[in-house]
């Protein structure tokens, strides 16, 4: 496990349902990443905003998909992973899919499990069936999407052969400002109950439905203390350093995960 892991979040305004424009705008943010980083994370549906019109905006999933190709270029250039969710179509279905692209160009993905029924997401996007844990630089990272935050069982960090399933819990979101308080309450809870670092990136600005977003992107340590956070309402970029030894030491001295309901 690499002793230090550099994690970068980009909190940005999203041009409504305009993938090409958003990739261009994000180029400007990526160009500001001048120091080494291991992972760059973008918000939920970072190319379109949280649109419920996938028939018009979803990109057909393929190896030449424009957004996937764009992510590959930046992953190679930065020698870092790039992750974020997009609207995709595959086998006559639509998915809110988090793409995780490695520097060598290969990718894995996670399909959002908890589609947001309040906005009708469940009517147009197929819910995912499986969670994933991605290993990079010896760190194990579990990516989730927005509404998944409200479901602690899906986020749960389980023990396997005396080892925690993951070290970092990651959320990408389009979480409106009207529900800002639950966002800022649930994120620390997830870090504490799972004894893991937590990173959450949200968008700012106003979407095509008139919803306003305040951002509140943050990186927390396993005690839910903020390592870095972005200002409410402002677009921005941040990088924080995650330290392996404090995480391992905390888990060893206070072995909460070993007393989980799955282990007794």
DSSP character at residue 106:
-
Return d(Cα 18, Cα 33) in angstroms, integer: 23
Among residues 112, 121, 142, 156, the one annotated as catalytic is 112
pLDDT digits (tens, 9 = 90+) for 119-158: 999 999 999 999 999 999 999 999 999 999 999 999 999 9
- pTM over 0.85, yes/no: yes
pLDDT digits (tens, 9 = 90+) for 36-50: 999 999 999 999 999
CA distances from 6 to 89, 141, 246 (A): 32, 13, 15
Q: Which residue has the tokens 């979407």?
A: 207
| Whether the Cβ atoms of residue 43 and residue 14 lie closer than 8 Å to each other | yes
Beta bridge partners of residue 242, listed in sequence order: 5
Instruction: Grade residue 264 by pLDDT with cuts at 50, 70 and 90.
Output: low
Beta bridge partners of residue 241, listed in sequence order: 6
Among residues 17, 44, 59, 121, the one annotated as catalytic is 44
156 is an active site residue: no
Return d(Cα 121, Cα 114) in angstroms, integer: 9
- Tell me whether strands 236-243 and 39-41 are parallel, antiparallel or unpaired: unpaired
DSSP character at residue 222:
T
| Whether the Cβ atoms of residue 30 and residue 71 lie closer than 8 Å to each other | no
- Mean pLDDT for the chain? 97
pLDDT digits (tens, 9 = 90+) for 84-97: 999 999 999 999 99
Assess if CATH 3.60.110.10 describes domain 4-263. Answer: yes
Nearest to 196 by CA among 243, 136, 126: 243
Return d(Cα 16, Cα 24) in angstroms, integer: 13
44 is an active site residue: yes
Q: Which residue has the tokens 């927005």?
A: 146
Positive/negative CA dihedral, 35, 8, 98, 203: negative
| Whether the Cβ atoms of residue 38 and residue 5 lie closer than 8 Å to each other | yes
CA distances from 100 to 83, 125, 263 (A): 4, 19, 31
Give the per-residue pLDDT at 97: 98
pLDDT digits (tens, 9 = 90+) for 229-241: 998 999 999 999 9
- 174: helix, strand or coil: coil
Among residues 17, 81, 146, 156, the one annotated as catalytic is 146
Phi–psi pair at 66, nearest 5 degrees: -55, -45
Q: From the centroid of its chain, how far is CA 220?
A: 14
**Angle (CA) 66 115 96, round 5°:** 5
Question: In this structure, what token pair is assigned to residue 64?
Answer: 């030449």
| Whether the Cβ atoms of residue 178 and residue 204 lie closer than 8 Å to each other | no
146 is an active site residue: yes
pLDDT digits (tens, 9 = 90+) for 77-125: 999 999 999 999 999 999 999 999 999 999 999 999 999 999 999 999 9
pLDDT digits (tens, 9 = 90+) for 9-65: 999 999 999 999 999 999 999 999 999 999 999 999 999 999 999 999 999 999 999
């Amino acid at each position: 496990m690499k002793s230090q892991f550099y994690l970068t979040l980009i909190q940005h305004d999203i041009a409504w349902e305009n993938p090409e424009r958003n990739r261009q705008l994000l180029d400007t943010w990526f160009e500001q990443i001048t120091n080494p980083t291991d992972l760059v994370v973008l918000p939920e549906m970072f190319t379109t905003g949280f649109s419920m019109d996938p028939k018009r905006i979803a990109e057909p999933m393929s190896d030449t998909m424009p957004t996937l190709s764009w992510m590959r270029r930046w992953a190679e250039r930065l020698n870092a992973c790039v992750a974020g969710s997009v609207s995709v179509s595959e086998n006559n279905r639509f998915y809110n899919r988090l793409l995780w692209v490695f520097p060598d160009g290969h990718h894995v993905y996670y399909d959002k499990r908890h589609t947001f029924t309040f906005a009708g997401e469940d009517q147009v996007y197929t819910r995912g069936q499986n969670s994933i844990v991605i290993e990079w630089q010896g760190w194990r990272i579990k990516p989730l999407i927005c509404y998944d935050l409200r479901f602690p069982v899906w986020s749960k960090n389980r023990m396997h052969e005396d080892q925690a399933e993951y070290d970092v819990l990651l959320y990408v979101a389009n979480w409106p400002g009207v529900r800002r308080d639950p966002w800022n309450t649930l994120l620390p809870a997830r870090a504490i109950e799972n004894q893991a670092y937590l990173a959450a990136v949200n968008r700012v600005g106003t979407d095509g439905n008139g919803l306003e977003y305040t951002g509140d992107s943050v990186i927390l340590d396993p005690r839910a203390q903020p390592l870095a956070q972005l200002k409410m309402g402002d677009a921005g970029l941040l990088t924080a350093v995650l330290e392996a030894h404090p995480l391992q030491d905390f888990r060893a001295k206070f072995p909460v995960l070993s007393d989980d309901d799955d282990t007794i």
